[in-house]
């Protein structure tokens, strides 16, 4: 089985932190649950990135379980590049305009 490295772009890291703090402010421990679900999603992506549908040209999308977020990523050789961890309740054009 092919192994992929995971690279999370700065914009995506900021989105993760924002979501973590927002959930943690709502309920103690909820931010950690979000991060755990996101880690599970990242594991699924690195194990089988081609199993996720293409949504925007070469970009693929994975759904984060139990939270209204998707991970937008691209496969480049031996690397998975995460461009966005996006709240699906926001306008999807926002992340594309970066």
Residue 88 in 3-state DSSP? coil
Divide the 98 residues of the chain into consecutive groups of 10 and give the mean pLDDT of each group: 89 97 97 98 95 91 96 95 91 56
**Count of domains for the chain:** 1
Q: 81 pairs with which residues across the strands?
A: 7, 74
- The Cα 11–Cα 47 span in angstroms is 23
Report pTM. 0.88
The reply to whether 96 falls in a domain is no
Please tell me the predicted confidence (pLDDT) of residue 98: 56
pLDDT confidence of residue 96: 55
Contacts of 24 (CB under 8 A, 6+ apart): 30, 31, 32
In a domain, 64, yes or no: yes
Q: Around Cβ 98, how many Cβ atoms within 10 Å?
A: 8
Q: Please report the pLDDT score of residue 30 as a whole number.
A: 98
CATH of the domain at 81: 3.30.2310.20
**pLDDT at residue 81, as a whole number:** 97
- 26 lies in which domain range? 5-89
């Amino acid at each position: 089985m092919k192994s992929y490295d995971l690279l999370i772009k700065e914009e995506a890291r900021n989105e993760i932190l924002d979501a973590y703090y927002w959930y943690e402010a709502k309920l103690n421990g909820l931010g950690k649950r979000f991060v755990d679900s996101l880690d599970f999603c990242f594991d699924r992506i690195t194990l089988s990135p081609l199993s996720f549908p293409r949504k925007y040209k070469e970009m693929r999308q994975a759904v984060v379980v139990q939270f209204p977020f998707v991970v937008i990523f691209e496969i480049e050789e031996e690397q998975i590049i995460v461009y966005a961890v996006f709240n699906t309740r926001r306008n999807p054009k926002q992340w594309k305009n970066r």
